[in-house]
Amino acid sequence: MKKLIFAGIIVVLALSQATAAYYVHIFNIRPDLILICAVIAALFYRPRWALSLSVFAGLLKDIFSVAPFGMNAVLFFLWSFLIIKLSRVISLDNSYVRLVLIFIVAISDSIASMLILLLSGNFISWGVFFRIAVVGSLYTTLFFPLVLKLAIKSSVIES
């Protein structure tokens, strides 16, 4: 039941990212709320559910974005898989470790997305690339504790 509620939170945040997040931007960059949900799923759910929720989040992001369809679903699966593997090696229970983790995942996701777009023939200037990769990743990292607190308050995960 908790997983279905979290899937509902993913849908609400995906809709928010596609609509209301346009009012909460810095340098025309918005936080990636859907990526945050995929990371939370990888941190707090069993691997099968974490991967399923991450692919679901990626598909929603693909639906609401102009990126090639399936790109985010594959990338979110990859990030969740790597987080699950990493959690077996080191402890990811510390809040600061989680913040560093979300920043690394966000910047890696931005870089991978930009490389895929470049390889598909789209031109992206270095200034835009830097702004999206660095500022977007920092902004996503700042929103991570808020979304995590929302997930904890709605009782879909336990801290």
The ranges assigned to domains in the chain are 2-153
User: Looking at residue 93, what DSSP letter applies?
Assistant: -
Q: Tens digit of pLDDT for each residue in 56-68?
A: 999 999 998 877 7
User: Looking at residue 45, what DSSP letter applies?
Assistant: S
Beta bridge partners of 29: 26
Q: Tens digit of pLDDT for each residue in 26-46?
A: 777 788 899 999 999 999 999
pLDDT band at 25; cut points 50, 70, 90: low
Run of H or E including 129: helix 126-130
Stated pTM of the model: 0.89
Which of 17-31, 33-47, 96-110 bottoms out in mean pLDDT, i.e. has the lowest? 17-31
Q: Which CATH class is domain 2-153?
A: mainly alpha
CA atoms within 13 A on the CB side of 56: 19
The pLDDT > 90 percentage for the chain reads: 46
